[in-house]
Structure 1
Amino acid sequence: MDQIMTWISDNQSTLIGYAVQILVGIVILVVGKIVANSMAKLMAKGMHKRGMDGAVISFLTAIIKTVIFIAALLMALSQVGVQTTSFIAILGAAGLAIGLSLQGSLSNIASGVLIIMFRPFRAGEYVDAGGVSGTVEEVNIFQTIMKTPDNKVVFVPNAQITTQPITNYNREDTRRVDLLIGVSYDADLHKCKEVFQQVLAKESRILPEPAPNIQVHALNNSSVDFIVRPWVKGTDYWGVYWDLMREIKLALDQNDIGIPYPQMDVHLHKVASQE
């Protein structure tokens, strides 16, 4: 114990110097984190004022925070006495090894950049991307956050999105409602078309242009299939879809037009017994 105290006493100035360097390094890290958060908030505020997409804002602010924190970390290490030049070289070699082992994560970052550059969707739009259908909340460095209609939050890897088709349901203002209605073979086809036209005429949310399309689509095994295709605003799609299905069924019932169901005819043949 005496030897330890003697060593501390002999090297007191050196130890104090190291302690000060470590303290300054910690302060640099803390200040760097504060600066990173402040810069990110300022950038986000400025981009919001310019009307930039929320997904772009979240992605860029995440990158800025990461870059500033890495710079603060290097400054802190330099203050402690670590040679940052050699440290950067070591980081480069380690980064190569880590990059090879984390190809999936790097592909997510690259995919995130592509999503931000080409913007196949924006925050608030309803899309089908990466096998998930939902409203885009934000795009991070590694993943896109989406909320499904039943209020589940799904984190989809960016690489999964860019390697599959993306369907954006909100990019255009209008959508076509596609209905397939089967009627009986005994039904009067002209009367059926009139019934469909009357139902569409009562629906105020249907757009006059393009005009609705009503045609015989197929002659199936047990039904004659009509396509009924009106155009509506994108925000009215599901409401019009559900209401038309109900009103068409009621109108067909009122006009004694049957909607057939799959059926099978069984024919029995009596075979004479052989004695």
Structure 2
Amino acid sequence: MPENIDINLLWQAYIIPWGTRIVLALVIFYIGRIVVATVVGLIIKVMQARRMDEVLVRFLSAILRWLLLLFVIIAALSQLGIDTTSMVALLGAAGLAIGLSLQGSLSNLAAGVLLITFRPFTKGDFVEAGKAMGVIESISIFTTTMTTPDNKEVIVPNSAILSNNITNYSARSTRRVDMVFGVSYGDDLRQAKQLLQEIIAADERVLAEPEPNIVVGELADSSVNFLVRPWVNSADYWGVFWDTTEAVKLKFDEAGLSIPFPQVDVNMPAKD
């Protein structure tokens, strides 16, 4: 009889209560994983429906999945009678320590999320950002990769980009080409202006609207400076700039117009 009583007490005091707790903990963990997968899947569909960047979708969904699984694990452990308060405090302290040791990386991470979310530029844009200039090749969570005009690859930390001005030369479909051409004070001003107008009008890449501006912008020390400002498609910017500069020099030479350049007169005193 005593042995039977001990076995009954063992079942009632330990086996049944702990078995129940273990089964409930497993059920909570199993159902919790299903719920987490469902919630994360729905959120991914919502983000994709809003056409969010795929890199950001993967990143946010991974963080959300691990956070929700952490709550599920804590709930399952608490069902076993484990004090999860100290565990939460320990995780918080560990997270704080990791965050302090990885401040630079976390700032790049936060900047990457903002760049991907707000999209000040996209792949293929020609930008000036983070003290670098080039075509955007890729935007990751921590860095942005550019290709410079001379075909060098530049990897810029995202925090450096977001903490400085961003100039996106590809953001607009058209751009204004700003050029300055000078003629000497002794040249015919009307003739110079007419030649500039003919050069701009002959270039099919120059847009009719907005109308090009060709005006006298400055009476400088040694020249009369014309401001020549045609509008072009963004892709034609440098072609128009270079071709117009060459055409102005050739036309001015043909017409006998001089383009002043700095000169220094040195007078040597005659020796006795």
Both proteins in one fold, TM over 0.5? yes
Q: CA deviation at 1:225?
A: 1.5
* CA drift at 1:75: 9.4
TM-score (norm 1): 0.70
Stretches of structure 1 lacking an aligned partner (at least 5 in a row): 1-35
Asked if structure 1 preserves the Cα contact closer than 8 Å seen for 2:56 and 2:117, the reply is: no
Which residue number in structure 1 is paired with residue 123 of structure 2? Answer: 123
Alignment of 1:1-275 (within 5 A): 47=48, 52=51, 56-65=53-62, 68=65, 85=84, 89-267=89-267
Other structure's SS at 1:207 match: coil
Matches of 2:87 and 2:141, distance apart in 1: 25
Structure 1 consecutive aligned stretches of length 4 or more whose deviation exceeds 6 Å? 69-76
- Which letter maps to 1:169? Y
The one-letter code matched in structure 1 to 2:118 is: F
* Equivalent residue pairs, number: 231
Aligned CA-pair RMSD: 3.5
Structure 1 residues 209 and 139, CA gap change in structure 2 (3 angstroms): same
Q: TM-score, normalised by structure 2?
A: 0.71
Structure 2: runs of 5+ lacking an equivalent: 1-36, 77-81
Give secondary structure in 2 for the equivalent of 1:253: helix
Equivalent position amino acid for 1:176 in 2: R
Q: 2: distance between equivalents of 1:162 and 1:84?
A: 43
Structure 2 CA distance for aligned equivalents of residues 84 and 243 of structure 1:
76
Deviation per CA, 1:12-70: give whole Å up to 9, x if none: xxxxxxxxxxxxxxxxxxxxxxxx9xx99xx79x95xx7947xx222332443465578
Q: 1:51 to 1:175 in 2, by over 3 A?
A: farther
1:198 deviation in Å? 0.6
Contact 2:127–2:166, Cα closer than 8 Å, also in 1: yes
Q: Equivalent pairs: percent with the same residue?
A: 47
CA distance in 1, matches of 2:97, 2:130: 28
Q: Evaluate the alpha carbon distance shift between residue 196 and residue 84 of structure 1 in structure 2; reply closer, same or farther with a 3 A threshold.
A: farther
Deviates more, 1:130-139 or 1:209-218: 130-139
1:59 alignment partner AA: L
Larger radius of gyration: 2
